[in-house]
Amino acid sequence: DGGITQSPKYLFRKEGQNVTLSCEQNLNHDAMYWYRQDPGQGLRLIYYSQIVNDFQKGDIAEGYSVSREKKESFPLTVTSAQKNPTAFYLCASSLGTSGRAYNEQFFGPGTRLTVL
Amino acid sequence: QKEVEQNSGPLSVPEGAIASLNCTYSDRVSQSFFWYRQYSGKSPELIMSIYSNGDKEDGRFTAQLNKASQYVSLLIRDSQPSDSATYLCAVYNNNDMRFGAGTRLTVKP
Q: Inter-chain contact A104–B49, Cβ cutoff 8 Å?
A: yes
> Which residues have C-beta within 8 Å of that of residue B4, sequence separation ≥ 6?
A42, B23, B24, B25, B26, B89, B90, B91, B98, B99, B100
**Banded pLDDT at B96 (limits 50, 70, 90):** confident
| A7-11, B26-30, B38-42, B88-92: segment of lowest average pLDDT | B26-30
Which ranges of chain A have pLDDT less than 50? none
pLDDT at B60: 98
Q: What is the mean pLDDT of chain A?
A: 92
Q: Inter-chain contact A42–B4, Cβ cutoff 8 Å?
A: yes
Dihedral in degrees, nearest 10, Cα atoms B90, A28, A4, B94 = -20
pLDDT surpassing 90 at residue B84: yes
Q: Nearest-CA distance from A23 to chain B in Å?
A: 14
> Which residues have C-beta within 8 Å of that of residue A81, sequence separation ≥ 6?
A62, A63
Q: Inter-chain contact A110–B42, Cβ cutoff 8 Å?
A: yes
| A88-102, B14-28, B90-104: segment of lowest average pLDDT | A88-102
pLDDT at B7: 87
pLDDT at B1: 67
A87 touching chain B per CB within 8 A = no
Q: Inter-chain contact A43–B95, Cβ cutoff 8 Å?
A: no
Q: Which residue has the higher pLDDT, B78 or A17?
A: B78
Nearest chain B residue to A48 by CA: give it: B95
